[in-house]
Amino acid sequence: MVEAYWTVGPEEGQLRQTSLDAPGPGEVLVRTLASAISRGTETLVHRHAVPEAVRPLMRAPFQEGDLPGPVKYGYLSVGVVDAGPEELVGRRVFCLYPHQTRYVVPATAVVPVPDDVPTERALLAGAVETAVNALWDAAPRLGDRVAVVGMGMIGASVAALLGGFPLGRLQVVDVDPRRGELAARLGLELVTPEEAAGDCDVVLHCSASEAGLATALRLAGEEAEVVELSWYGTDAPRVPLGEAFHARRLTVRASQVGAVSAARRARRTTADRLGVALDALRDPRFDALLTGASAFAELPGTMADIASGRLPALCHVIRYPEES
């Protein structure tokens, strides 16, 4: 028997026991070392607040049950392969699996974690993979002036990757001064919308707010591109397309992690992209995004605290018992 976390009602979660079949040919048995709560998405799931129209889009790769619930939901897990193909046995792997002590998945669903990437940092692979795809879409060039608007989990991941690019200027824009410490740990310049420099070549918007999108458009220079990473669900944000939007010939384009960027799709698979993200996580600066940890046994209470705001978090780690 294994244990898994289920959302069973609005703002109600519990740990449930379930049986587990032995792995078959081409499958692996993974013993979980740690998982992470993706605060924005999992808060919506916890509250039963995922709009009906977008529930199919919100389905996690190994989800059980249907939204709004009861549902086993999550997609950030790192564990050790205890059984399966010889080349994977004993290796740490990342998998898009919910919070569960052990699980069986196809071997193709796991990606080995580099030896020099700590287990908990590897949980950031999902966010960093999204950032990798966004930068393949945005294609910043040598000497570019770039702004990232919104310093949540995705914005911080995008900006951290951009910190290694030979840019002319990089600013991270956020209205919350408390993000200053995070920016400093990542070696980034944090500015308010009022302080941000304009005439950008590329702006990446990650704040999921109307005000943030307006700021992104304002910062874009003539014939520049705004890459939209925010997900608004069923909301319909107002987009300021008046004033100089047309005169400056601006472009707004979407970036979404469900498919590999068209710029790389012919030569990269989703597994390749995830591998790029895990390689990037060799950088210890990403530890700044890990903002707390709790035991698996405490997960129902932890989820409630994060959803209510009592426990602020970017990436909150769930640690599993050694003999799970």
- pLDDT above 70: residue 93: yes
In the chain, which residues fall in CATH 3.40.50.720?
Answer: 130-254
In the chain, which residues fall in CATH 3.90.180.10?
Answer: 2-124+281-319
Report the distance separating Cα 93 and Cα 77, nearest Å: 8
> pLDDT (tens digit, 9 = 90+) per residue, 134-173?
999 999 999 999 999 999 999 999 999 999 999 999 999 9
- pLDDT above 70: residue 323: no
**DSSP states along 141-186:** -TT-EEEEE--SHHHHHHHHHHTTS--SEEEEE-S-TTHHHHHHHH
Fold for 130-254, please state it: Rossmann fold (3.40.50)
- For residue 112, the one-letter residue type is P
pLDDT band at 41 (very low <50, low <70, confident <90, very high): confident
Instruction: Check if the beta carbon of residue 321 is closer than 8 Å to that of residue 298.
Output: no
**Bridge partners (DSSP) listed for residue 38:** 315
> pLDDT (tens digit, 9 = 90+) per residue, 168-220?
999 999 999 989 999 999 999 999 999 999 999 999 999 999 999 999 999 99
Report the distance separating Cα 15 and Cα 35, nearest Å: 14
Model confidence, pTM: 0.93
pLDDT band at 57 (very low <50, low <70, confident <90, very high): confident
Task: Give CATH superfamily name and number for 2-124+281-319.
Answer: Medium-chain alcohol dehydrogenases, catalytic domain (3.90.180.10)
